[in-house]
Amino acid sequence: MADYRPVEQHWEKIKKSDAPLTIALEPTADILAEVAKNKGEKIVVGFAAETDHVAENARKKLSAKNATSS
């Protein structure tokens, strides 16, 4: 699942033109946060691709999503 999805769905090909194309995006639901919210004693495993400040961002996500590290 992606972090964002297009606001509008087009069921047919968008024809190429010389005009710039802008696609509006909206955030998707945070599945990991929802699963972790009700995890009880279960272990929840998630994956995140980070490109900058990897360790710092990973720690923030663990806390924000009610996950823990071992």
pLDDT of residue 68: 65
Answer yes or no: is pLDDT of 54 > 70. Answer: yes
Q: Any long-range contacts for 31-37 (C-beta under 8 Å, 24+ apart)?
A: 31/1, 32/65, 32/67, 33/64, 33/65, 33/66, 36/65, 36/66, 36/67, 37/66
pLDDT the model gives residue 22: 94
Q: Please report the pLDDT score of residue 47 as a whole number.
A: 75
Please report which confidence band the pLDDT of residue 17 belongs to, taking 50, 70 and 90 as the band edges.
very high
Query: Sorting pLDDT into bands at 50, 70 and 90, what band is 44?
Result: confident
Residue 61's CB is within 10 A of a number of other CB atoms, namely 15
Please tell me whether residue 34 adopts helix, strand or coil conformation: helix
H or E stretch covering 25: strand 25-27
- Strand, helix or coil at 23? coil
Residue spans per domain, the chain? 1-6+29-70
Say whether pLDDT at 28 is over 80. yes
